[in-house]
Amino acid sequence: MDCRIESSTDDAAVLDNKKSLTVTRLVRRMRNLLEIEIGEIWVEGEISNLRRQASGHCYFTLKDEGAQISCVLFRGTASRAKSRPEDGMQARLFGEISVYEARGQVQLVVKQLEDAGMGDLQARFEALKRKLNAEGLFDTTRKKALPKFPQTIGLVTSPTGAALQDMLNILTRRAPWVQPVLYPVTVQGKGGERTIAAAIEQLGDPEQHGLPRVDVIIVGRGGGSLEDLWNFNEEVVARAIHACPIPVVSAVGHEIDFTISDFAADMRAPTPSAAAELVVPDAVELKARVRQSASAVQRAMENRLKHDSSILNSARRALMPRDAERALRDPILELDRIRQELRDAAQGALDDKKSKLREMEVHHAAHHPARVLERRGEKLDQARIIWEKAGKAALQSATERFQNLASLIRTLGPEATFARGFSITLDQDGKPVKDAGAVQAGDVLVTQVSHGKIQSEVTSLQE
């Protein structure tokens, strides 16, 4: 009651004196009003976006179809609660409405928590999981193995998310020869599941859709609430993953998040970054293994040589000096042969490893974006030169045909006839006079000759 009176007096003072409250006083007044007007109350809804802290406190959102509110469950209360909060859980909470002053955020401080049944989304998740598992979509015997040295990797994710940058950074660092192929999709919101399923289907049949063939596909996104990740819990996505002929790695959310796509995929990664590390070997580690193998072969060869030399020395000491050379001739030859074979084997192993590394470096250089653009630029220049030559040749041919036709017209046209002394006579209507009987005395005629016309009047006719 005192708070209300003080508030009313302060408000009047603010209006009269035109003074402003501090943010702290405003938020504290809001908290007092909420705690007095509403106080402790029972609330029922679905838990989502649950975050457990190392301190033992739990933070989550309680929501229904129309609204949501932030909640905090402190460690002492959590240890006495009848149920443990989980994402998707339908819960009944008893607590006090308050305001977290540091953020000005309305929240429910939970004092009791009871399980009121599974939430709608979680129930849908469990039902679909049971259905697809019964159909065999999660059967481990059908999982495809990931290639050891993939050359091209398909990334089905948001083009603007941090998950894409994380995967690209790791792929570039661990396997610079790998060519990533991004298929951008909508990873959150209505209809996003159809774009994800379409991307998986088209990458699984690249020739039909004009896409490059990939060796493995990573499908994923960063973390979020159960609602944020729901596109990866849709049946259409799970069936697209199961039907894809190319191995699929599901990397959705954080390590604690599980989706239907995780069960349907050939392998689950806890995060997108972990997926990038799973699908490619580390180039530094590969080089170290090559060096270790070379060292192991060299040590084995040296040990074998030492062993054989010891046997040879023992044999030399055991034989009489007179027969030593003859007795040791064959063992010496055999020792030389074995020594050479070991050297050849070691050198061959080293050459093979070096050859594979060079092939990877050449392949990476040939598929580098700058080299690809350079080759395409050269092709465009060649095409431009060919088209310019073809255009000039066509224009020259058309010019020659035009000149020939013009010459032919000049040769066969009426102008050439007039130039040779011929003429044509026209009547008053402009029609050629073909017969003397067609005109009468007094008619005006026009005679067309070279370089002009002659007009005359008929004075007499002779047949």
Of 358 and 275, the one with more pLDDT: 275
Q: Which residue has the higher pLDDT, 220 or 436?
A: 220
CA angle 73-78-79, nearest 5°? 160
Provide the residue type at 366 as one letter: A
Read off the pLDDT of residues 158-196 as tens digits, 9 standing for 90 and up: 999 899 999 999 999 988 889 999 999 999 988 899 999
- What are the CA-CA distances from residue 196 to residues 235, 238, 248, 289, 438 (Å)? 11, 10, 13, 38, 91
pLDDT range class, residue 87, cuts 50, 70, 90: confident
Rounded-to-integer distance, Cα 22 and Cα 94, Å: 32
Nearest-angstrom CA–CA distance, 241 and 266: 8
Place of tokens 């007094």: 442
Q: What is the pLDDT of residue 223?
A: 83
CA distance 61 to 118: 15
Q: Residue range 27-53: average pLDDT?
A: 88
CA distance 324 to 243: 74
Residue 99's contacts (CB-CB under 8 Å, 6 or more residues apart) are 27, 28, 30, 31, 34, 105, 106, 107
Written as six digits, the tokens of 461 are 């006719």
Q: How far apart are CA 268 and CA 218, in angstroms?
A: 10
349-393 pLDDT tens trace: 888 888 888 888 777 777 777 777 888 888 888 988 999 998 899
The per-residue pLDDT of the chain, averaged, comes to: 84
pLDDT range class, residue 305, cuts 50, 70, 90 = confident
Would you say residue 32 has pLDDT above 90? Answer: no
Res. 5: pLDDT tops 50: no
Is pTM beyond 0.85? Reply is: no
Q: How far is CA 401 from the centre of its chain?
A: 55
